[in-house]
Structure 1
C-alpha cells in the first residue's frame, strides 16, 4: 500500500528503532504500534499517537508498515503442537530427527481423554502422562495448570520435572501457529506491561478485568478453556479489521493463562445499566438520540465491511468515559448468513426470519437495532415487558409490535416501527437510519 494513502486511524507497526527523536518527533522502538492521527508537515510524514505511551508526535512513513488485520483462518491454532489422538509410536516418528527440546502433545490412544507430553532429549523421546484432577492438569502433582496452553508456556520457561526445557514445537501438519501470526502482524502484546485490576464481570467464558496496559486503562477478557479460546480467536480476527469511533477498539492479545483479549476500557459500563441507574431526569432526549446515532454509525461501519453483528442489544453497547456509546461483543459477528445454534439466540431482539429460517442479514441486524432503540427510549427496560419468550415469538409472527415507550418522541417511534417491517427488504439500511437520526438531532438544536 502506498504510504501517501494511509488515512487517519490507520494503525502501523514501527519497522526500526527511533530512540533519538528530534523536536516534535515521537520516540518509538521496533515493533511498537502507532495510530496515525493526521498528516505531518512534510511529504511522507505523519502525526501519530503511540498506542502504549499515548504520546503524539511526528513520524516518517518510511519507518512504518501497516498493522495487518488477521484473516479468519481455520488453520490458525493456539495449539499448533497438539496432534490429537496418536499413539506413542506415531509420536516418536513425528519427532524425528530428534533434537533436544523438540516436543508435541497428543491425546492418548489407550486412555482416551488423557494427554501425553512427548519430549526429545539426548536422542530419546520421553512421554509424560498429564494427570487431570480437580479440573486442573499436572505432570508431577507439584505444578498445576488450567489448560495445555499454560502448561506448555510454563515448561518453555522452566524445566521443572522434565528432562529438558521445551524449546521447539513439532507443528501438526496443516496448522499455523497463532502466536507467531499474532506476533508478526503486531497484535501480540507484552505480558510484562499488563497489570490486572479488579474484576468487572464474570461471563460464561471467563472473567473480564479492569487493568492497565503500558499506562492506558484497559478491559481484559480472559478465556481459560483451550477450546473456547480457539473459538475466540475468530472474534479477535474480526476485531483486527475494525477501527471506528463507535466500535470498542481491540488493542491486542496476550497468550498466558489461556487467551487475554485486551480492549479499550469503557468506564461507564453497558448502556442498559447506564440508563436504568440515571433515568429520565438525568438523561436528556438529545443524549438518547446521540446514543442511538453512535450505535447506528458503528453498525453502518459493520454494514460496509459486510459483517453482521447478530447480537445487537443494549447489554452489548458500552459507554465510554466521555459518554460515547460503542458496540462490543463481536462474538457472533460473522460474514456468513446462517447461524449454527438456534438455542442461544436472544429471541426478543432477533428478527422473525432469522428465528424461523436462520436467515441473518444486515436487515435482521436492523430489526435488532429497532429493539435497541426501544430499550434506549424506555431507559433500559426489558423489551416486550411481561411477555414470555414463547409469547413474543408467536405474537410477533402474527404481526404484534411493541407500543412506544412513555414520552417517546413520535418521530423516533416511527423509526423503530420501520425497523420492524415484516418484509426484510422494506427495512431501512443503517446509512438511511443515520440520515434520519441526524435530522432529528438537528431539529432539537434548531
Structure 2
C-alpha cells in the first residue's frame, strides 16, 4: 500500500513486541503516516495518543477515509416517516421474524408505531411520546427512537420478538455501516466517561478516555438534532489542521456521541478572563490570534464557512495552542428562520439582514474575536443592547480599541469590519499582517508559546 504523509490510519492488529525503531501500538489505535518513502512495505508513523514515532508495517493499518457528505446517510434508516399501517405491512414482505420498521402514527399525531414481523404477520406497537420520553409499555422509557431500537434489539420486553433486521427506507444508507467502513465508528466499550464539563444547547459534553487518550465527548440524544449533527460530522472527517479541534470518531449509542481531542484549558474567553494582563502578554495574545487565523485560513481553503466564530468557540490545549471548534456544527441551524438565534454581536450586517453567510462574514466575526482577545475576554459592545448593536453598526458605528491594544491590530479589526464584504481582507492577508506584527515584537525565530 502506498501511503501519503499525513494519512490517518487505524491499526488492524497489535504490535506490542516492537523491534528496535518500530512503533508500539494496539489494535484500534489511531496513527498518522509521517514518512511513506521508506523501504518497501514499511513507513514511519506517529501514534496519535502517545506522540511516539517509529516504523510500522504498511499492511498492518487501514486508512480512515473521509466520509462523503450524503443527505441519504441516516442514523435511523428503519424510520419510514408518515406511512399507514397497511403500507408498513406491504413493506415488511416477505414476512421474516424480527424484520421491523418505525413509522409516525397517523391516528395519534406525535406518537410513533413500531411494526414487527412475527409468525407470518405484522404486529403494530404504539410508541407513546410523553414528558419528552418514549414508551411502549409505561415501564421502559427512552430518550429517543435510536435508544429504543437498540434496547429491543437485545431485549424482547413486551414485544413478540427481539428486533432482528431493519427494513431500510428506500434511498437511505445506514450511518453505522458507512462510519464503520471508513474507520470513524468507535467502540463504546473502549470509552470511559468522566465528569460533565459543559452543557450545550444540543447536549452535554463530558471528559473521557478512549483507548488511553483523553477525549471530550458531546452526547446528543434528540433524534432530529443527532441526524442534523451527523451531516456536519461527516464534514469534520475531511478536516485535519493543528488549529482545528480534531474529530476522533463517532459512537452510536443512545443517540450520537461525537468524540474529539480534549482541550484541557477550556474556551478562550474563560482562559483570558481568569488569567488577565498579569499572566498573558501581548505576544501570547498575538499567538492566539494567529492560531485562530491559521485554522480559519484552512477552512477557507476548503470552502467552508464557520458561521459562529467567537472566542467561546475557540478552545485552548494543554500546551496553550488555540484551536477552532464547532466548525462543522454551526451550519446545522443556518436555515433557522428565527434570527434571534444568531449571535448578533459577532454576526456581519449582511448576514443579520439577508442571512448571507460567506468567508467575508467569518472575517467580520474574526474582527470581533480579535477585540475579545485584546480586551482579555470582555463582552463585545459593552453595555449595549442587541437592538442598539444592530442599529448602530448598520449606521457605521465600530467599537473603540481595547486598552493597550497595538494600533496596527486595531486597524486590522476595522478592516475586518468594513461595511462592504468585498473590502474585507481574506484570512491569508490577515495572517500576513499578524506575522509581521509578531516579527516586530519578537524578532527571535523561536517564539515562546
Work out which of the residue numbers 35, 39, 42 in structure 2 matches 1:42. Answer: 39
Check 1:280–1:28 CA distance in 2 against 1; reply closer, same or farther (3 A cut): closer
- Name the residue aligned to 2:160: 163
- Name the residue aligned to 2:308: 311
Check 1:17–1:216 CA distance in 2 against 1; reply closer, same or farther (3 A cut): closer
- 3-state SS of 1:290 partner: helix
- Name the residue aligned to 2:207: 210
Q: Which runs of structure 2 are paired with 1:371-382 in the superposition (5 Å)?
A: 371-382=368-379
Q: How big is each residue's C-alpha offset from its partner over 1:374-400, in whole Å with a ceiling of 9 and x where there is no partner?
A: 000000001111111111111112211
- 52-61 or 359-368: which moved more? 52-61
Q: For the residues of structure 1 that align with 2:332 and 2:342, how far apart are their CA atoms?
A: 17
Q: Would the aligned equivalents of 1:293 and 1:434 in 2 still touch at CA under 8 Å?
A: yes
Q: For the residues of structure 2 that align with 1:42 and 1:341, how far apart are their CA atoms?
A: 59
- 3-state SS of 1:85 partner: coil
- Name the residue aligned to 1:230: 227
Work out which of the residue numbers 428, 437, 440 in structure 2 matches 1:440. Answer: 437
- Name the residue aligned to 1:99: 96
Q: For the residues of structure 2 that align with 1:116 and 1:24, how far apart are their CA atoms?
A: 59
Q: For the residues of structure 2 that align with 1:341 and 1:209, how far apart are their CA atoms?
A: 29
- Name the residue aligned to 2:446: none
Work out which of the residue numbers 271, 276, 283 in structure 2 matches 1:274. Answer: 271
Q: How big is each residue's C-alpha offset from its partner over 1:328-353, in whole Å with a ceiling of 9 and x where there is no partner?
A: 01255559998755331111111112
Q: Would the aligned equivalents of 2:16 and 2:26 in 1 still touch at CA under 8 Å?
A: yes
The CA deviation at 1:321 is 0.7
Check 1:414–1:187 CA distance in 2 against 1; reply closer, same or farther (3 A cut): same
- Name the residue aligned to 1:415: 412
- Name the residue aligned to 1:153: 150
- 3-state SS of 2:142 partner: coil
- Name the residue aligned to 1:201: 198
- Name the residue aligned to 1:327: 324
Q: Would the aligned equivalents of 2:233 and 2:329 in 1 still touch at CA under 8 Å?
A: no
- Name the residue aligned to 2:283: 286
Q: For the residues of structure 2 that align with 1:323 and 1:18, how far apart are their CA atoms?
A: 32
Q: For the residues of structure 2 that align with 1:17 and 1:238, how far apart are their CA atoms?
A: 30
Check 1:434–1:335 CA distance in 2 against 1; reply closer, same or farther (3 A cut): farther
Residue segments in structure 2 that go unaligned for 5+ positions in a row: 444-449
Q: Would the aligned equivalents of 2:135 and 2:142 in 1 still touch at CA under 8 Å?
A: yes
Residue segments in structure 1 that go unaligned for 5+ positions in a row: none
Structure 2 residue 177 is the aligned partner of structure 1 residue 180: yes
- 3-state SS of 1:369 partner: helix
Q: Would the aligned equivalents of 2:29 and 2:211 in 1 still touch at CA under 8 Å?
A: no
The CA deviation at 1:54 is 6.0
Q: How big is each residue's C-alpha offset from its partner over 1:127-159, in whole Å with a ceiling of 9 and x where there is no partner?
A: 222233332212223322111100111111222
Q: Would the aligned equivalents of 1:150 and 1:258 in 2 still touch at CA under 8 Å?
A: yes
Q: For the residues of structure 1 that align with 2:40 and 2:363, how far apart are their CA atoms?
A: 43
Q: For the residues of structure 1 that align with 2:264 and 2:26, how far apart are their CA atoms?
A: 30
Report the number of matched residues: 443
Structure 2 residue 117 is the aligned partner of structure 1 residue 120: yes
Q: Would the aligned equivalents of 1:238 and 1:333 in 2 still touch at CA under 8 Å?
A: no
- 21-30 or 357-366: which moved more? 21-30
Q: How big is each residue's C-alpha offset from its partner over 1:92-142, in whole Å with a ceiling of 9 and x where there is no partner?
A: 111111112111111122222211111122222222222333322122233
When the two structures are superposed, what TM-score results if normalisation uses the length of structure 2?
A: 0.93
Q: Which runs of structure 2 are paired with 1:383-398 in the superposition (5 Å)?
A: 383-398=380-395
Q: For the residues of structure 1 that align with 2:30 and 2:153, how far apart are their CA atoms?
A: 27
Q: Would the aligned equivalents of 2:63 and 2:183 in 1 still touch at CA under 8 Å?
A: no
- 271-280 or 158-167: which moved more? 158-167
Work out which of the residue numbers 191, 203, 216 in structure 2 matches 1:219. Answer: 216
When the two structures are superposed, what TM-score results if normalisation uses the length of structure 1?
A: 0.93
- 3-state SS of 1:441 partner: helix
Check 1:178–1:341 CA distance in 2 against 1; reply closer, same or farther (3 A cut): farther
- Name the residue aligned to 1:7: 5
Q: Which runs of structure 2 are paired with 1:105-144 in the superposition (5 Å)?
A: 105-144=102-141
Check 1:372–1:113 CA distance in 2 against 1; reply closer, same or farther (3 A cut): same
- 309-318 or 59-68: which moved more? 59-68
Q: Would the aligned equivalents of 2:191 and 2:211 in 1 still touch at CA under 8 Å?
A: yes
Q: For the residues of structure 1 that align with 2:235 and 2:72, how far apart are their CA atoms?
A: 15
